[in-house]
Amino acid sequence: MREVAVVGCGMTRFGRSERSLVDLLVEASLKAISDAGACERDFDAVYVGNMCSGEFNMVTGVAAALADRVGLIPSAADRVENGPASGGSAVKAGFLAVASGLYDMVLVAGGEKMTSTPTGRVADVIATLTHPEREYKYGATLPSFGGLLMRMYMERYGVKRESISLVAVKNHKNGALNPYAHFQKEVTLEEVLRSPVIADPLRLYDTCPISDGAAAVVLCPANAAKEFTDTPVLVKGVGQATDVQSVAEREDPTVLNALRVAAGKAYAMAGVTPRDVDVAELHDAFTILEIVESEDAGLFEKGKGAKAVEEGETWIGGRIPVNPSGGLKARGHPLGATGVAQIVELTWQLRGEAGRRQVDGAETGLAVNFGGFGNSIVVHVLQRR
């Protein structure tokens, strides 16, 4: 298997946009291609991470449309969908295309257009990720599972809701340093605790916003990376796994088994352990998810993730900064864009180009992209060459 490098990155600002999904994908893609200095190169393939172009925006075949708009014809083009982990899965598809030896120049773009849609059915469409007969038909939504998980976790591990909501304070603080973030504004713990209840005990500021946006990376074989950049970042480990779809049927719903398997595979492939991780982008669609993921990815013992936030370990300047970008909570969560944006942020961090939110000396980065309600998870480990 060939080693694969990220040699170009780009993204739109996340937030509310008047532009179309494909317009957003075009902007991120052109920035990534330009960042790689690859404007005059032929690309072999385009992969687009997107969950709901048809359901939200009444457009399909967006990967081929992007190849046309960016001038990459006759490049191959596919869309990859894995729910909110579509971006991570698209990066993995691009990785495999290069690692296999079939393709040398691959563009991976992730995007979603959610704030205004002709169908107006955003929340309901996302809820179709739940089990059709055992969950969806009873009105279950992803935030409702977030609330149940938070309550169960608090009881099981004796953790206060304030400790979990500190994730929002931290991630808004980081987002305020990120010019691409949807929310570039700090919030206090009191504001989080006073915000409206979404799914008790989950409150509005415990949840990510609905955002528009796109992110993109250019991938090539590691041995060609120097043609494009002095600071290639390698995709060293890739792991992906599934779990039982119906949350109630899981042995312990506070444990993300799919993450444990996926992270184990990614670490093994990269030849690292969780102790080697210098910076992590986790999928904090809800504050509780960052805590649980930080544990099941092996960064902290089970039940100790909230304590790590309280003690500053996951803040910038701490032992393992988590979501220096602001995460889904503050950078925003245009579904298909998120997994690609995580790779963009880690690349900037490993290159030392993350500006005021830079994690000093970061050499190894971890990305966790969470699909369904944790039943399909994609993990990447990146390293500075």
Distance of closest approach, residue 16 Cβ to a second copy, in angstroms: 20
What distance in Å separates the CA atoms of residue 359 and residue 153, rounded to the nearest whole number?
29
Compare residues 257 and 294 and give the one whose CB is closer to a second copy.
257
What distance in Å separates the CA atoms of residue 129 and residue 140, rounded to the nearest whole number?
10
Distance of closest approach, residue 377 Cβ to a second copy, in angstroms: 9
Structure token digits, residue 63 = 């990967």
Distance of closest approach, residue 140 Cβ to a second copy, in angstroms: 13
Compare residues 21 and 166 and give the one whose CB is closer to a second copy.
21
Structure token digits, residue 217 = 């990376």
Compare residues 203 and 250 and give the one whose CB is closer to a second copy.
250
Distance of closest approach, residue 183 Cβ to a second copy, in angstroms: 26
Distance of closest approach, residue 32 Cβ to a second copy, in angstroms: 18
Structure token digits, residue 279 = 């910076």
For the beta sheet containing 279-281, the strands, ordered from the edge strand earlier in sequence to the opposite edge, are: 45-49, 106-112, 213-221, 4-11, 233-242, 376-384, 364-371, 279-281
Give the Å distances, CA to CA, from 146 to 29, 50, 98, 160, 248.
Answer: 33, 22, 36, 16, 13
Instruction: Tell me which DSSP letter residue 20 carries.
Output: -
Compare residues 34 and 100 and give the one whose CB is closer to a second copy.
100
**Tokens 């989950």 -> residue:** 202
Compare residues 124 and 200 and give the one whose CB is closer to a second copy.
124
Q: What backbone torsions phi and psi does residue 203 show, to the nearest 5 degrees? A: -110, 170
Compare residues 84 and 326 and give the one whose CB is closer to a second copy.
84
Distance of closest approach, residue 52 Cβ to a second copy, in angstroms: 6
Q: What backbone torsions phi and psi does residue 79 show, to the nearest 5 degrees? A: -100, 140
Structure token digits, residue 244 = 């039982």
Compare residues 55 and 363 and give the one whose CB is closer to a second copy.
55
Give me the residues that bind a second copy (CB under 8 A), please: 1, 20, 22, 45-46, 51-52, 54-55, 58-61, 63-65, 67-68, 72-83, 89, 92-93, 96-97, 99-102, 125-126, 128-129, 131-132, 238, 240-245, 257-258, 261-262, 371-372, 375-376, 378
What distance in Å separates the CA atoms of residue 229 and residue 348, rounded to the nearest whole number?
13
Distance of closest approach, residue 191 Cβ to a second copy, in angstroms: 33
Q: Which residues contact 351 (CB under 8 A, 6 or more apart)?
A: 231, 233, 384
